[in-house]
Structure 1
Amino acid sequence: MEKNNRWRAVVYVLVGAASYGVLSSIVKLAYAGGFTAGEVTGSQVLTGCLVMWLFSMPYWKRCRALTLRTMLKMVGSGTFTGLTGIFYYQSLQRLDASFAVLLLFQFVWMGLAVEWLFHRKRPGQMQVIGAVIVGGGTLLASGLLTGGQAVYDAAGIALGLLAAVCYTLFMYFSGRVAVEVPASLRSAWMLTGGAIVVLLVYPPQFLWNGSLQEGLWLWALVLGLFGMILPPYLFAKGVPSLNTGLAAILGSVELPVVMICSAWLLQEQPDGWQWIGVVLILAGVCLSESRAGLSAGKKIKLL
Structure 2
Amino acid sequence: MTSMKRWKAVWLVLLGAASYGILSTLVKLGYQNGFTPAEITGSQNLFGFIMLWLICLPQLRKMKGITFGTVLKLMFSGAFTGLTGYFYYLSLQVLDASFAVLLLFQFTWMGMLLGWLLDKKAPNRFQWLAMIFVLIGTLLSSGVLSGSWEGVHLGGVVLGLLAAVCYTLFICFSGRVATQFPPLVRSTWVVSGAMTIVLILMPPQFLWNGSLDKGLWFWACLMSLFGLILPSYFLAKGAPFIETGLASVLGAVELPVVIVCSALLLQERQGPLQWMGIIIIIIGIFVSEKKTGGSLAKVSVNPKG
Q: Normalising to structure 1: TM-score of the pair?
A: 0.85
Tell me how far 1:92 sits from its aligned partner. 3.4
1:129 to 1:16, Cα distance in 2 relative to 1, 3 A = closer
Tell me how far 1:176 sits from its aligned partner. 0.9
**Residue type matched to 2:161 in 1?**
L
Tell me how far 1:7 sits from its aligned partner. 5.4
- Superposition pairs of residues 107-186 of structure 1, within 5 angstroms: 107-147=107-147, 153-186=153-186
Deviations 1:63-101 (A, max 9, x none): 341122211111111111100111122233444555533
Assess if the C-alpha contact under 8 Å between 1:97 and 1:258 holds in 2: no
Whole-Å separation in 1 of the counterparts to 2:232 and 2:293: 22
Equivalent residue, structure 2, for 1:44: 44
1:26 aligns with 2:19: no
Assess if the C-alpha contact under 8 Å between 1:245 and 1:289 holds in 2: no
**Residue type matched to 1:220 in 2?**
A
Whole-Å separation in 2 of the counterparts to 1:139 and 1:248: 17
Equivalent residue, structure 1, for 2:302: none
1:241 to 1:112, Cα distance in 2 relative to 1, 3 A = closer
Equivalent residue, structure 2, for 1:92: 92
Percent identity over the alignment?
Answer: 54
1:299 aligns with 2:298: yes
Assess if the C-alpha contact under 8 Å between 2:112 and 2:244 holds in 1: no
Equivalent residue, structure 1, for 2:263: 263
Deviations 1:172-203 (A, max 9, x none): 11111000111111111111111111001000
173-182 or 50-59, which deviates more: 50-59
Tell me how far 1:143 sits from its aligned partner. 3.3
Whole-Å separation in 2 of the counterparts to 1:224 and 1:200: 18
Q: Normalising to structure 2: TM-score of the pair?
A: 0.85
1:203 aligns with 2:183: no
Assess if the C-alpha contact under 8 Å between 2:138 and 2:255 holds in 1: no
Assess if the C-alpha contact under 8 Å between 1:183 and 1:233 holds in 2: yes
Assess if the C-alpha contact under 8 Å between 1:83 and 1:163 holds in 2: yes
Equivalent residue, structure 1, for 2:230: 230
1:168 to 1:225, Cα distance in 2 relative to 1, 3 A = same
Q: Unaligned stretches of 5+ in structure 1?
A: none
**Residue type matched to 1:270 in 2?**
Q
1:91 to 1:290, Cα distance in 2 relative to 1, 3 A = farther
Assess if the C-alpha contact under 8 Å between 2:77 and 2:190 holds in 1: yes
Equivalent residue pairs, number? 298
Tell me how far 1:261 sits from its aligned partner. 1.0
1:216 aligns with 2:183: no
Equivalent residue, structure 2, for 1:69: 69
Whole-Å separation in 2 of the counterparts to 1:165 and 1:292: 29
